[in-house]
Structure 1
Amino acid sequence: MSTRELDAAGITDPQLRAAYTASRAINASHGRTYFLATRLLPIADRPAVHALYGFARIADDIVDGDLPKSQQAAELFSLERTMWTGTHPVLRALKDTVQRYRIDRDLFTDFLASMRMDLDVTEYATFDDLARYMHGSAGVIGLQMLPVLGTTGPREEAEPYAAALGEAFQLTNFLRDVGEDLDRGRIYLPMDELAAFGVDRARLRWVHRTGKPDPNVRQALAHLVARTYAVYRRAEPGITLLRPESRPCVSTAATLYRRILDRIVAADYAVLHRRAVVPTGQRLLVALPGVTRAAGQNARAWARRLTSRPRLPRRASMGVPGRDSSAVNSQRRISLGE
């Protein structure tokens, strides 16, 4: 990790610095869009985002791995049991972040509850059923991020929007990854919505296997993409409730993820046999205005700090893209008892 990020965040303990560095490596390796957006945050807040992402990635790798279900369940249990006491680097960084920003620990319990659902649930009958899963797997991610991003008013006012944006990101991933999820035996699209267009698991698998166009599948995906665009619109007003320094990051992330939906539309919804990806050049072009806005916001924030009376550092007042492949590989799975 850039020592500038750690220094700006006031992280001086060598073990903690190593823990945050490991978390950043995971974010840089796996969360390409997420990592790019993180670079638009104030430098002192970036380590916290890396820690939150690193924890979520560890849990995700457990449920998407090739271990027997019983061992996956045991690893998730071990992760929850050692979440606040373990010596694993990502857990060290997570605990420090939660203390610094006073993040509700129950959000992480809810997250792991949804991860456990992935071990047994292979499809969701309705959007209401899927929404219960997404609350724990995506909505809580937005709520975890909110204390890091900061708000201009009561945090409670921004919470519904933060949760909705997390769910919009996940719905986008579900639509992008239909084929990959089918290979894992899962469908994250509501079965009743698919059935309304004459689509079932067998039909999805046929299109995934052959790559041939199917008008029913196309109509079903078009319907679900339109519904996901609507979730973005519902979440968008919450960006103005955030601290000004954080808005470029969240706005850029929302734009980048919406571009994935745009790519699905541009491919005429033929995405079951190939992944809709926003090219790196386009992602950088989208991020560039955010970089400019972030630089201006951060400069104004520093100017306010320099001209105002001295304040206690964040830890006291609140209570408490290179890639390092060796660090990434060492953090991909948390071992039992670690």
Structure 2
Amino acid sequence: MSGLDAGYRRCAELTRRYGTTYYWGAMLLPTRQRRDVYSVYALCRLTDDIVDEPERVDLAVPQDGTPAERLDAFRRLFFSALGSGEAPDQVMAAIVDSIRRRGTDPECFERFFDAMALDLSTDTWPTWEGLRDGYMEGSAAVIGEMMLPVLEPISDEARGPARALGHAFQLTNFLRDVDEDLDRGRVYLPQADLARHGADPWLRRVTPQWRAMMAEQIERNRALYAEAMTGLPLLPPPSRRCVGTALVLYSRILERIEARDYDVFSGRVRVPGSEKLGVVARTLTVGLPLPRLA
């Protein structure tokens, strides 16, 4: 096995371990596209871990210094490798090979690293618009842009729905991971929305105010998924199945949050692996099961 092949295999392992929804969705793609999905995910995962899980040290990232110093070093390492085509390890070699081959705009990664750096200095966001435009632009919408060259859309109009899907996925993460984010001292729910409903996540209790606030956020989230779905016809069939499957599986997290009466404090809400496998199997045999978006 070549070093590059080993790097792509490691990217796939990272996706399978930490991004199961992306992993299962990508299984519906041809191998040449699948490994590029894994490489994008691996870059995002490794970067995010520097900020959110600094104790989880991967050999593919700088290991010395504070999270801010490690993030800056990884950013410089990435852009150096992207510019030269030469990487110091197998994982970065695969990531750079994928990005250069797909012709992804390097500016996407500038926005991405800028957003990751914000996690080290900002722990609350005043409004939805501020959160969306100040943080999620580089941490979520840009992920959709990174994936587009891999998905080979048939129209440039796919960019808007791809960005909406990035927003939708991340807002779902914010709603699911409230408790974990509190442990890190962060609140990714707009402060204005919390104040308007009188909801306090730091209580870590489901109250009438919390239910009302969460119901409003889920309605916003489903509107983003609905916008993202308009991009499915703009993708070739394999990419449509991949993205559609990920969309269906992620949107089911919202249903499970509702089924738990908006309790995101007593354990992470998960879609079981058997259900993920069932959606993939159904997509391959009878077509994509559409999510509930209203």
Partner of 1:46: 34
Q: Is there any run of 5+ residues in structure 2 with no aligned partner, and where?
A: 56-64, 82-86, 288-294
> In the TM superposition, what is the alpha-carbon distance from 1:268 to its structure 2 partner?
1.3
1:61 aligns with 2:49: yes
- How far does residue 138 in structure 1 lie from its aligned partner after superposition? 0.9
Query: Following TM superposition, by how much is the alpha carbon of 1:143 offset from its aligned partner in structure 2, in angstroms?
Result: 0.5
Aligned counterpart, 1:83: 78
SS in 1 for 2:230: helix
* Mean Cα deviation higher: 282-291 or 224-233: 282-291
Dislocated runs of 4+, deviation >4 Å: none
Q: Is contact 1:248-1:293 (8 Å) kept?
A: no
Paired with 1:292 and 1:93, the residues of 2 have a C-alpha distance of 32
Return the alpha-carbon distance in structure 2 between the equivalents of residues 290 and 245 of structure 1.
11
CA displacement 1:292-322 (0-9 Å, x = unmatched): 379xxxxxxxxxxxxxxxxxxxxxxxxxxxx
Aligned to 1:141: 143
Radius of gyration: which is bigger?
1
1:245 Cα offset (Å): 2.1
| Residues 1:160 and 2:160 aligned together | yes
Separation (CA, whole Å) in 2 of partners of 1:17 and 1:280: 27
* Residue identity opposite 2:255 in structure 1: D
Deviation at 1:229, TM superposition (A): 0.6
SS of aligned partner of 2:266 = coil
Q: Could you say what secondary structure the match of 1:277 adopts?
A: coil
1:1-338 mapped onto 2 (5 Å cutoff): 14-66=2-54, 71-84=66-79, 85=81, 86-132=87-133, 133-153=135-155, 155=156, 157-199=157-199, 203-206=200-203, 208=204, 212-292=205-285
SS state at 1:119 partner: coil
Shift of 1:55: 0.5
Q: Secondary structure, in 3 states, of the residue corresponding to 1:213?
A: coil
CA distance in 2, matches of 1:25, 1:183: 27
Counterpart of 1:215, as a letter, is P
- Give the Cα–Cα distance (whole angstroms) in 2 for the partners of residues 106 and 290 of structure 1: 34
Alpha-carbon distance between aligned partners in 2 of 1:172 and 1:114, rounded to the nearest angstrom: 18
Shift of 1:94: 1.2
User: Structure 2 length normalisation: TM-score?
Assistant: 0.88
Task: Map Cα deviations across residues 205-245 of structure 1 (whole Å, 9 max, x no partner).
Answer: 22x2xxx4311111111110111011111111011111222
**Are residues 279 and 249 of structure 1, via their aligned partners in 2, closer, same or farther at CA, if it must alter by over 3 Å?**
same
The CA distance in 1 between the partners of 2:109 and 2:54, in whole Å, is: 24
8 Å contact kept, 1:249–1:290: no
- Give the secondary structure class of the aligned counterpart of 2:78: coil
Separation in structure 2 between the aligned mates of residue 260 and residue 138 of structure 1, nearest angstrom: 17
Q: Deviations over 1:256-284 (max 9, x none)?
A: 00000010111111112222111222222
- Higher RCO, 1 vs 2 (CA within 8 Å, ≥6 residues apart): 1
SS at match of 2:197: coil
SS of 1:188's equivalent in the other structure is coil
Instruction: State the secondary structure of the residue aligned to 2:231.
Output: helix
Q: Distance in 2 between matches of 1:40 and 1:66?
A: 32
Question: Between the two proteins, what is the percent identity of the paired residues?
Answer: 41
* Contact preservation (8 Å) 1:42, 1:246: no
Give, in whole Å, the separation in 2 of the partners of 1:293 and 1:108. Answer: 37
In structure 1, how many angstroms separate the alpha carbons of the residues matched to 2:53 and 2:273?
Answer: 27
Taking structure 1 as the reference length, what is the TM-score of the superposition?
A: 0.77
SS of 1:120's partner is coil
Name the SS of the counterpart of 1:87 in structure 2.
Answer: coil
Root-mean-square deviation (Å): 1.5
2:206/2:262 contact within 8 Å kept: no
Cα distance in structure 2, aligned partners of 1:139 and 1:124: 17
After the TM superposition, which of the residue ranges 83-92 and 141-150 deviates more from structure 2?
83-92
